[in-house]
Amino acid sequence: MAEDFASLDAMRRALAPALAEAAVWDGWTEAAARSAAEAKGIDPDAAAFAFKGGAMTMIAAWVHAIDDAMAAALPSEQLAAMKIRERIRALIQFRLDAATPHKEALRRALAIMAMPQNAAKALKLGWSSADAMWRLAGDTATDYNHYTKRLTLGSIYAATLAVFAEDQSEGHADTRAFLDRRIDGVMRFEKAKAQLLRPRDETFSVTRLLGRLRYPSR
């Protein structure tokens, strides 16, 4: 029996997993949307209408469905016990695991997102996923760090997805190693940045040291 949905967005998210399965064979097309609807007992015409925006609308629904599943599987309270790098690693790994059964659909999605006409939507989608991950990781920054963190994580995730899509190593070991290197590199950078931006009275000063040697405190 077909479900009743509160909105077209709710229908899209409900269809997203089946749509990713269908996209392996049919691509991100109306045929895939209709096939997914039939598998879920939903009116194919209603599904075609819900995804009338085309491939990017379908891909966005899949991405948002993974966002929802990630939030349910890795709530903030669970992640809070981990170091920040482990939180980010766990969140990205969850997304990779979710995409594993549909790697051909992922390859097709990445190719579509790389098209110039889809650049703005792809960037917005990447930002949305990075924001979802940082919020689960406990980030509360409201200054420029809010933006730099999401840009950095978005670039890490996009690069990792590209490696993952073509990774033939056992257990995706190459992707895991790549992700570890990228996260470690960012953490080193953030540590260096924090030291550089530390208040002046907390940083080492050659002038202050020489002054103290010349005029020792009494």
**Mean pLDDT computed over 112-122:** 97
18 in Cβ contact with 61 (< 8 Å): no
The domains of the chain, with CATH numbers, are: 53-202 (1.10.357.10)
Q: Does residue 110 contact residue 162 with C-beta atoms inside 8 Å?
A: yes
| Residue 1 predicted with pLDDT over 50 | no
The reported pLDDT for the residue numbered 28 is 97
Structure confidence at residue 186 (pLDDT):
80
Tens of pLDDT, residue by residue over 49-94, are: 999 999 999 999 999 999 999 999 999 999 999 999 999 999 999 9
Task: Name the token pair of 11.
Answer: 């229908």
pLDDT, position 98: 96
Are residues 61 and 51 in contact, defined by beta-carbon separation less than 8 angstroms?
A: yes
**Rounded mean pLDDT, 200-209:** 53
Task: Output 195 or 10, whichever has higher pLDDT.
Answer: 10
pLDDT confidence tier of residue 185, bands split at 50, 70 and 90: confident
22-30: long-range pairs with CB below 8 Å, 24+: 23/58, 23/102, 23/104, 23/105, 23/108, 23/109, 24/102, 24/104, 24/105, 27/55, 27/108, 28/54, 28/55, 28/58, 28/59, 28/105, 28/108, 28/109, 28/112, 29/55
The better pLDDT of the pair 102, 196 is held by 102
Question: What residues contact 81, with CB distance under 8 A and at least 6 apart?
Answer: none
- Of 171, 152, 154, which is closest to residue 162 (Cα–Cα)? 154
Residue 6 pLDDT grade (very low, low, confident, very high; cuts 50, 70, 90)? confident
- Give the pLDDT confidence score for residue 140 in this predicted structure: 87
Q: What is the mean pLDDT of residues 177-201?
A: 74
Residue 152 near residue 186 (C-beta atoms within 8 A): yes
Which whole number is the average pLDDT over 2-21? 88
Using 50, 70 and 90 to split pLDDT, how confident is the model at 210? low
* Ramachandran assignment for 41, one of left (phi > 0), alpha (psi -120 to 50 degrees), beta (any other): left
- Say if residue 217's pLDDT is above 80: no
Question: Is residue 201 pLDDT above 70, yes or no?
Answer: no
- In this prediction, residue 163 has a pLDDT band, given cuts at 50, 70 and 90, of very high
Residue 206 has pLDDT above 60, yes or no: no
